[in-house]
Structure 1
């Protein structure tokens, strides 16, 4: 099987994982309100809990799955993750209570571990000088999925809140069939490494990478960046409902705009930008423009201003492909699974912390008893985190212009 054909299956898998993340966003507030008999501000706290469950599972399993893929290969791990995603959708579609929603999101978090394995698959099959472009394609697939996920959730959810999940389950089953027939194994036996439990967690993975101090610094940048980035899916729906009275359909279309711009930046703009200024400076540009976008969200006086700041925010799509390329090029083939598992685990750690922090910020500054009504507080906090990431990158850039 040609690598290019299999690459399409990899991108389809990433796309459907993105759909699974986005499809629930526009329908979740109303689903929580109905299942829990609560108001929208209280639903935002439950939404944070669901995001915590999703991220907690991904945090625990991403390094395990990444190291397992270094031991037994990429193909079986990806097939398992796709199957778990299909079961997750069925659980969400049939959930009779919030408890069942939590169970479904835990399973979704386990299946999300395949993103790191997909990145390792790309590392196996792509020359070093082309990896930022290849990781950009993964980012574009995620962005397109984020277009389709909220759009599917918003439009189908207007007919029935549960219908989007059953449609998504069918799509994932088709993805499993395509992966079964089209996905080859890319990790050659001589490049496989034994599975060790001490490496199968974020701390252990970082310990394995300790000989490259800049790798640890870049992982810290990823953590700060992801803490900020995750403010958007957590707070956007509740913020738009509370401040501008949006419905699920409007939320879905706004998230579709997010996804389209992210896909454009990750899929088309990143290669010429990286070629001109390099991965390090590309990351800095993304952080600066993303911070501007978050500040715009926080202080938006009307819905048109809110929508306009999606454009600078979308340049955050330049960051992860550039950082993944820098990190991937620094390590050997036998450590790619562990590396991308560590990255996925770091991202998942922030997906545990960020929803809890951001939902609490939203609640504290939006509740009727709040001394200061400022529902944009999560976005302002996110901009500060991006500026902190920019400072870390500036520090590493001054110490070493070229990452080895």
Structure 2
């Protein structure tokens, strides 16, 4: 028996996978791919009270995007998911489907259960496929995480409920034997799901969309209580999210130094982090993300719109995080005060020693100042931060 597929209900694809596996990248690839010719609504879920992904998702999305915030979609906000699906139906009845991207800490079971135990949702939607994205570099470690008594391993649950498993980031695993070991472990947890390798979550969207893969009988074989609405589960209380939002530009150099310090000190405990930053002097959004000590970041092709509020936001998810430290560090990177030196001012720039320089521009390419060294070549340099370590008032009168 499969899910109640019929022409009157809207198919739903659930994207799950542990933090940092590549779910949002996969979703962007699907939304940017014009070959499938399908139109979807997207429901996003963040673990925390500050959303990131609506700023990261492709701007090619002409469809509906709904965020279900402040918790795990399998727990505290499940009622919000039902409400969102009910409100969304009139707009998406003619769509090709709905894609739900869950937080990396979600157990897929209650999400899947929604489409069977809620009578109203059953009449409107059917569950088409559960796609689990795994990170080839980290999945074996996640599957063997030691959890407190009574606490489930979310990575295991995500693999067990999958109809399709993507082994992503295979370029980070050099040995074929290691990939074979990963697939062996995945098949031990889920013998029936198809497994597909990929890099940067690049696949043919038709491999995961509207493939009628969800089989209720298979799920009931390994979870006989799947349809029991009274099921409860516990998350690891040591895993928390710290998130912050500021309606101000930030100094890129200070931010990068701060993030590098966090990664070097907390890297082993960081499951996932990402952010979208409004950098002073830059029109494009700075987007960063990472898992553990693997950090990537840079300016995207998406510019801040003229009528869009420039704001900077981040979320870090991991074990034993010092929330106050993270927030204070982020606050220290904000750009609220006017710069000390006006354009045309003569100053001293530190280029391995202090030399005479002239301020050509404030906030240039993300740096506090663009300076012209007062030498024969008129060399241009940047002062990234408005502090004496980089730029200071002249010690002598150069006029």
TM-score of the pair, normalised by structure 2: 0.26
TM-score of the pair, normalised by structure 1: 0.26
Q: Quick check: which one's helix share is greater? A: 1
Higher RCO (CA < 8 A, seq sep 6+): 1
Q: Quick check: which one's strand share is greater? A: 2
